[in-house]
């Protein structure tokens, strides 16, 4: 699609772009869009192979097991993949690897059959005989249903007969509704399964016309159905959507956290559907030979995409003998009393490695460092993304193993991963005497902070946290004013964070730490940067959520200053994402999104306009330190203080009392 076509197809994403532009400016928003659109995405989500390494905490699998794997986020077309526990199932004896490679596709069809609730002897129409439709036809036959299949292409109908269809109809040459009525003695079918793509009402109108009264229509896959109200109402039909492989799909706690559903409450999860499909393959009830067009080696697969209209199931094979070394990413645990260290100018660092190749790093960090340092290794969870960033930013090497950057001589490392990895990677980096830039938050707990305190004492490296708002041009202008103002001050900082999508990684507490630690730490740090040393905080959650995503905090500082921070998921997008007012002796400063700063003083107002929230300036300041031209731009005690304030605010929310810092 062109950019305009993509915008029309995803208006929700257009709204996000506009919101980003209002906050960061159009230049930064456009760069984020370009980075996202140019990022490659791996293909594939149904595979089978041999286990060559197992996570130490896993107890279900052993090296050498044959497994079927699923998941558009992991079961890629690749020689080597890494999958979470519940997206893999052991292949039983009697099932070949090539058969097991169909497991995920078959489970999509199996879940659709379950949604249709088809019983022995019932008659079902399957519209669309692509790969999923053909597997659906076979599974309906195995369940005891009688199947009529329809498609435009005769070769697919021939395959449908081989897969168990009792009758087939070529949809562009016959009146399907009449054929269905004749086949069902005038009653109509019990269920229709739409195994097609596209959108519109033609397919759903056809389905309704073929259904008996109170029949079931199941929408399988990406079909955007439109219903003609009267015909659906008169027949009192049920419309059901079949969500991919079954219960558990799109639930990160199930898929990535391996939190299985009790069988007494959820009989058929996606993993149990995998197992059921594999057993049907073993018994011969699911025969995959009629739909397997050919097998091809991975190195020759590109040409297949030119002829997909004449293919059904194409098996991709890979060379044997792949191996991977076992490695441990456990950071050494260091416990001691907290202390601090200041960095001096007795170093110079010209090499940079990066862990985390997400859109934030590609947009907000790396463009400001490119050309200033020698880019060494880029590390990411997926090799495809790592290699893309390697090529885009001229890194020397791409890797998926974070330990690769902590060996060898001292250098600098950017850590821009999910939050739960910040502390373990920081400890490894400090132990290796690296100069680290770690995106906020520094860590997710006081225990981790204590370990980092001790590691900072021992290292010859340094640690900088990504509190970028300190470095924003609006902040620098404000600091000039504050140098001439004595006495306590009052800060009121309002943040409209917006509601959080349930599938956003920030909603996964094990990864993000939640929005207060993961995001509001920015604003606690900013209050400390302007007002000094905090001595106590009183915080209150707004609402009653499983984990706080809206809160109000009142902070008292050692010189009598105070700050109020309102961080809210509730509001309206027309309101600025960030705005604050600072009151002091003889002045008021008002700032909106760090783009507009208004200073009221001597009965006059001065307006300053800026285009940066501080990311570029933050990177430039760190570069000067790395090159030995300046002291460290964010001393560790200041970053430590901001994290202690953040943890105190969380304690205040939990305990409903004021917490001393």
Question: What fold is seen in the domain 470-660?
Answer: Dihydrodipicolinate Reductase; domain 2 (3.30.360)
Does the pLDDT value for residue 502 go beyond 90?
Answer: no
What percentage of the chain reaches a pLDDT higher than 90? 74
Q: Determine the 3-state secondary structure of 583 from DSSP.
A: strand
pLDDT reading at 329 higher than 50: no
Q: How many CB atoms lie within 10 A of CB 619?
A: 22
Kindly state the average pLDDT of the residues 248-269.
Answer: 93
**578 pLDDT above the threshold of 50:** yes
Is residue 376 within 8 Å of 396, Cβ to Cβ? yes
Which candidate, 91, 47, 98, places its Cα nearest to that of 294? 98
Give me the residue label for tokens 């040409």: 303
Smallest Cα–Cα separation from 99: which of 226, 286, 366, 253? 286
Tokens 């018994």 locate to 283
Residues forming beta bridges with residue 123, ordered by sequence position: 146
Rounded to 5 degrees, what are φ and ψ at 278? -65, -35
Nearest to 296 by CA among 280, 271, 279, 316: 316
d(CA 121, CA 204): 24
DSSP state of 62: -
CATH 3.40.50.720 fits 106-242, yes or no: yes
Q: Identify the residue with better confidence: 16 or 239.
A: 239
Fold entry, domain 351-462: Rossmann fold (3.40.50)
- Mapping DSSP to helix (H, G, I), strand (E, B) and coil, where does residue 40 land? coil
Task: Give pLDDT, residue 560.
Answer: 96
Enter the pTM of the model: 0.77
**106-242 and 351-462 have identical folds:** yes
What is the pLDDT of the chain when averaged over all its residues?
90
Q: What is the structure's pLDDT at 456?
A: 97
Whole-number pLDDT of residue 606: 96
Cite the beta strand spans of 185-257 per DSSP E.
189-194, 199-200, 211-220, 224-225, 238-242
Q: Which CATH class is domain 46-101+249-317?
A: alpha beta
pLDDT at 466 over 80: yes
- List, for residues 589-633, the tens digit of each pLDDT value: 999 999 999 999 999 999 999 999 999 999 999 999 999 999 999
Structure tokens at 580: 């604050």
| Residues with Cβ within 8 Å of residue 340, at least 6 apart in sequence | 453, 456, 635, 636, 637, 640
CA distance 44 to 70: 9
**What is the per-residue pLDDT for 547?**
73
Neighbours of 603 (CB within 10 A): 5
| 420-458 per-position pLDDT tens digit | 999 999 999 999 999 999 999 999 999 999 999 999 999
Tell me the pLDDT band of 24, cut-offs 50, 70 and 90: low
Confidence tier at 333 by pLDDT (50, 70, 90): very low
Domain borders along the chain are 3-38, 46-101+249-317, 106-242, 351-462, 470-660
C-alpha gyration radius of the chain: 30
User: What pLDDT shows up at residue 145?
Assistant: 97
What string of DSSP letters covers 308-360? GGG-SEEEEE--S---------PPPP-----------S-----EEEEE--SHH
Whole-angstrom distance, CA of residue 134 vs CA of residue 125: 12
């Amino acid at each position: 699609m062109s950019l305009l076509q993509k915008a029309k197809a995803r208006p929700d994403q257009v709204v996000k772009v506009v919101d980003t532009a209002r906050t960061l400016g159009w230049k930064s928003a456009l760069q984020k869009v370009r980075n996202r659109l140019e990022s490659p995405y791996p293909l594939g989500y149904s595979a089978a192979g041999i286990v060559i390494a197992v996570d130490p905490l896993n107890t279900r699998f052993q090296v050498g097991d044959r497994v079927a794997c699923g998941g558009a986020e992991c079961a890629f077309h690749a020689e080597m993949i890494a999958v979470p526990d519940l997206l893999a199932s052991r292949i039983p004896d009697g099932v070949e690897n090539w058969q097991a490679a169909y497991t995920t596709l078959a489970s999509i069809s199996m879940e659709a059959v379950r949604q249709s609730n088809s019983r022995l002897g019932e008659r079902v129409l399957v519209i669309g005989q692509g790969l999923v439709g053909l597997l659906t036809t076979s599974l309906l036959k195995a369940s005891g249903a009688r199947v009529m299949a329809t498609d435009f292409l005769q070769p697919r109908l021939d395959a449908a007969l081989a897969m168990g269809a009792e009758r087939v109809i070529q949809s562009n040459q016959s009146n399907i509704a009449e054929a269905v009525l004749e086949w069902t003695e005038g009653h109509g079918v019990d269920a229709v399964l739409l195994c097609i793509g596209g959108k519109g009402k033609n397919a759903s109108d056809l389905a309704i016309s073929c259904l008996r009264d109170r029949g079931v229509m199941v929408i399988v896959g990406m079909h955007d159905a439109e219903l003609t109200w009267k015909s659906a109402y008169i027949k009192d039909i049920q419309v059901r959507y079949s969500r991919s492989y079954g219960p558990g799909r799109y639930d990160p706690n199930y898929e990535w956290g391996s939190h299985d559903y009790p069988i007494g409450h959820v009989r058929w999860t996606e993993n149990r559907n995998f197992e059921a499909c594999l057993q049907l393959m073993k018994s011969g009830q699911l025969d995959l030979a009629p739909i397997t067009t050919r097998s091809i080696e991975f190195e020759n697969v590109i040409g297949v995409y030119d002829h997909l209209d004449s293919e059904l199931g194409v098996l991709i094979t890979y060379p044997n003998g792949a191996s991977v070394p076992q490695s441990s990413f456990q950071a050494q645990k260091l416990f001691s009393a907290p202390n601090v260290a200041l960095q001096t100018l007795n170093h110079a660092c010209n090499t940079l490695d990066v862990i985390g190749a997400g859109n934030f790093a590609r947009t907000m960090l790396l463009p400001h460092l490119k050309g200033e340092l020698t880019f060494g290794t880029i590390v990411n969870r997926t090799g495809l993304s790592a290699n893309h960033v390697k090529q885009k930013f001229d890194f020397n090497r791409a890797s998926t193993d974070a330990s690769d950057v902590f060996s060898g001589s001292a250098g600098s490392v950017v850590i821009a991963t999910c939050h739960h990895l910040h502390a373990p990677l920081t400890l490894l980096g400090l132990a290796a005497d690296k100069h680290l830039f770690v995106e906020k938050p520094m860590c997710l707990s006081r225990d981790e902070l204590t370990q980092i305190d001790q590691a900072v004492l021992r290292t010859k490296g340094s640690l900088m946290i990504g509190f970028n708002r300190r470095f924003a041009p609006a902040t620098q202008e404000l600091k000039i004013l504050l140098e001439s103002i004595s006495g306590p001050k009052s800060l009121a900082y309002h943040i409209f964070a917006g509601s959080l999508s349930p599938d956003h990684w920030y909603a996964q507490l094990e990864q993000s730490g939640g929005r207060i630690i993961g995001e509001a730490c920015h604003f606690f740090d900013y209050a400390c940067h302007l007002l000094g040393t905090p001595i106590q905080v009183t915080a209150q959650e707004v609402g009653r959520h499983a984990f706080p995503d809206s809160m109000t905090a009142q902070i008292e500082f050692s010189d009598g200053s105070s700050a109020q921070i309102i961080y809210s998921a509730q509001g309206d997008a027309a309101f600025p994402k960030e705005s604050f007012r600072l009151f002091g002796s003889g002045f008021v400063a008002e700032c909106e999104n760090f783009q507009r700063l208004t200073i009221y003083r001597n009965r006059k107002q001065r307006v300053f306009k800026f285009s940066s929230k501080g990311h570029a300036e933050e990177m430039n300041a760190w570069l000067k330190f790395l090159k030995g031209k300046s002291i460290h731009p964010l001393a560790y005690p200041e970053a430590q203080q901001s994290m202690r304030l953040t943890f105190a605010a969380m304690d205040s929310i939990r305990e409903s009392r004021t917490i001393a810092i």
